[in-house]
């Protein structure tokens, strides 16, 4: 049911359904009109044939001796009518007005020889014509109208035609909507990665025009983002020199308390500059060549480096997994992502845990903490540049609002997915999922 609804909700499904329904209706109306015309021609031909044949049969009976007429009745009968040398039985219903055949017989034999027309008593659709021979002998004509219906061959032919029609419509709709699906995929890739390759400008003229517009938009977005990052990098770089001079001059201040406060502010500014440069450098992450990396060894090295520096970072299982995969990825970008996530956890919780899981064709690296966490409705906001969440991320912790944003950009460069979620029992859970297909 869900697959059918998914097909119907798509543009291809609706166009195909409307085309098939419209063509089937038009085909059905044409068939109905042809069958009516055929029935009318059949009735006209039968009327002319039966009236002449019945007239000839009555002429034969008129010339036969009365004793021999009964023997000839069977010879003169036809599949759809027969004669009886008797008056018709009482009609099963009130006799109606003469029909076309009665009129034709009266015109050929004479009005006096056609008495009445009535339905047969037993029904079955037969019609009784009360006739008289030339000597006045009553004669009954039992007429059975031909059975009208579709033959099995005609029905199978119609169904086969509808099947061919449906396949042709499906193929036409697929050809017409495939370029639109390609454009939708390209727009999705552009939203995930502004540096995605341009769309192939092929197909119908309308699709080529839309693809060209999408490529121009992609280029403008890439240029604007590159310009913004370039400005950020230039400003951050140029601030390093005056900040260094200010730190040197602070050392010359006599007042120790004021000097310490100024140095703390300068340290925060220096940290902001470094984070700005790091954010600008993420644009070059995609240029790092991919190589095979022992994921367990890489992550264990990070844990050991933090532990050697006196930071509370440990594996949730106590040690790295024994079956950690070898992954083809960009190792420096991956290292920076995990480092940022661990720094973020240490900054707000004082301790961090690292976990590695391989399941369902994907690798998930998880960093967990027991800090104040982030409200579920603000998790997406935390991944934006310069975002500070007052309840848990503020200047008291020295946050610049760039750590998670840098991790998000590097995750995009790795083709990975970074997700934040509240940790059960309190804290934050940051999971980085990478496809396993590129590894092993």
Domain of 319, CATH number, reads 3.30.565.10
Domain-embedded: residue 149: no
Q: What is the CATH number of the domain that holds 180?
A: 1.10.287.130
Q: Choose the final residue of a domain: 286, 303, 338.
A: 286
pLDDT-derived band of residue 134, with 50, 70 and 90 as boundaries?
confident
Q: Choose the final residue of a domain: 93, 110, 143.
A: 143
Q: Please check whether residues 300 and 349 belong to one and the same domain.
A: yes
Q: CA 174, CA 394: separation in Å to the nearest integer?
A: 53
Tell me what pLDDT residue 312 has.
92
Q: Please check whether residues 170 and 115 belong to one and the same domain.
A: no
Is the pLDDT reported for residue 99 higher than 70? no
Tell me what pLDDT residue 2 has.
64
Q: Are 31 and 161 in contact, with CB atoms under 8 Å apart?
A: no
Q: Choose the final residue of a domain: 261, 286, 311.
A: 286
Please spell the DSSP secondary structure of 268-301, one letter per residue.
HHHHHHHHHHHHHHGGGGGGSPPEEEEHHHHHHH
pLDDT digits (tens, 9 = 90+) for 330-371: 888 888 889 989 988 898 889 999 999 888 778 899 999 998
pLDDT-derived band of residue 440, with 50, 70 and 90 as boundaries?
very low
Give the three-class secondary structure for 235: helix
Is the pLDDT reported for residue 393 higher than 60? no
Domain-embedded: residue 362: yes
Token representation of residue 84:
């009886």
Domain-embedded: residue 201: yes
pLDDT digits (tens, 9 = 90+) for 8-24: 666 667 777 777 778 77
Mean pLDDT of 103-125: 74
The rounded percent of the chain whose pLDDT value lies above 70 is 78
Domain-embedded: residue 150: no
| Listed range (107-111, 357-361, 406-410, 435-439) with the worst mean pLDDT | 435-439
pLDDT-derived band of residue 283, with 50, 70 and 90 as boundaries?
low
| Listed range (68-77, 105-114, 420-429) with the worst mean pLDDT | 105-114
Is the pLDDT reported for residue 429 higher than 90? yes
| Average pLDDT of every residue of the chain | 77
**Helices (H), strands (E): how many in the chain?**
10, 11
pLDDT digits (tens, 9 = 90+) for 141-198: 888 766 665 667 777 887 888 788 778 888 877 777 777 777 777 777 776 666 667 7
Give the three-class secondary structure for 336: helix
What residues make up the domain containing 374? 288-438
pLDDT digits (tens, 9 = 90+) for 27-47: 778 877 877 777 777 667 667
Q: Please check whether residues 308 and 434 belong to one and the same domain.
A: yes
Rg, the chain, Cα only: 46
Mean pLDDT of 404-413: 81
In sequence order, what are the beta bridge partners of 353?
314, 368
Q: Please check whether residues 344 and 267 belong to one and the same domain.
A: no
Q: Please check whether residues 243 and 339 belong to one and the same domain.
A: no
pLDDT-derived band of residue 286, with 50, 70 and 90 as boundaries?
low
The domain total for the chain is 3
Domain-embedded: residue 113: yes
pLDDT digits (tens, 9 = 90+) for 161-177: 878 877 888 887 777 77
Q: Phi first, then psi: what are they for 195, rounded to 5°? A: -90, 15
Q: Please check whether residues 235 and 314 belong to one and the same domain.
A: no
pLDDT digits (tens, 9 = 90+) for 229-281: 677 667 666 777 787 778 777 777 777 777 777 777 777 777 667 666 666 65
């Amino acid at each position: 049911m869900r697959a059918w609804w998914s097909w119907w909700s798509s543009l291809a499904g609706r166009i195909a359904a409307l085309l098939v329904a419209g063509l089937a209706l038009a085909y059905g109306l044409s068939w109905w009109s042809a069958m009516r015309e055929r029935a009318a021609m059949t009735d006209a031909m039968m009327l002319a044939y039966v009236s002449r044949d019945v007239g000839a049969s009555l002429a034969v009976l008129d010339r036969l001796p009365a004793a021999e007429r009964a023997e000839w009745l069977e010879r003169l009968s036809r599949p759809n009518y027969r004669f009886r040398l008797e008056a018709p039985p009482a009609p099963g219903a009130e006799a109606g007005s003469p029909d076309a055949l009665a009129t034709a017989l009266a015109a050929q034999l004479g009005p006096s020889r056609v008495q009445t027309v009535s339905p047969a008593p037993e029904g079955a659709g037969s019609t009784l014509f009360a006739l008289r021979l030339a000597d006045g002998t009553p004669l009954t004509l039992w007429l059975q109208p031909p059975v009208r219906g579709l033959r099995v061959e005609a029905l199978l032919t119609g169904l086969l035609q509808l099947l061919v029609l449906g396949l042709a419509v499906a193929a036409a709709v697929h050809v017409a909507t495939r370029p639109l699906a390609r454009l939708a995929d390209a727009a999705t890739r552009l939203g995930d990665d502004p540096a995605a390759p341009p769309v192939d400008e092929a197909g119908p003229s309308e699709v080529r025009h839309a693809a060209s517009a999408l490529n121009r938009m992609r280029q403008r977005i890439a240029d604007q983002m590159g310009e913004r990052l370039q400005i950020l990098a230039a400003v951050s770089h140029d601030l390093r020199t005056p900040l260094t001079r200010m730190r040197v001059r602070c050392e010359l201040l006599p007042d120790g308390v004021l000097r310490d406060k100024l140095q703390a502010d300068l340290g925060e500014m220096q940290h902001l500059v470094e984070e700005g440069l790091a954010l600008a450098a993420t644009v070059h992450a995609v240029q790092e060549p991919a190589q095979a990396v022992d994921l367990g060894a890489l992550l264990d090295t990070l844990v050991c480096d933090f532990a050697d520096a006196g930071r509370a970072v440990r594996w949730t299982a106590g040690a790295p997994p024994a079956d950690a995969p070898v992954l083809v990825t960009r190792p420096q970008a991956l290292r920076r992502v995990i480092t940022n996530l661990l720094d973020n956890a240490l900054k707000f919780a004082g301790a961090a845990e690292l976990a590695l899981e391989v399941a369902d064709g994907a690798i998930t690296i998880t960093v967990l903490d027991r800090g104040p966490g982030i409200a579920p409705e603000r998790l997406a906001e935390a991944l934006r540049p310069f975002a500070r969440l007052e309840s848990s991320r503020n200047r008291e912790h020295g946050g610049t609002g760039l750590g998670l944003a840098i991790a998000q950009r590097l995750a995009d460069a790795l083709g990975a997915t970074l997700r934040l979620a509240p940790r059960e029992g309190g804290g934050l859970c940051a999971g980085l999922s990478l496809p396993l297909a590129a590894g092993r």
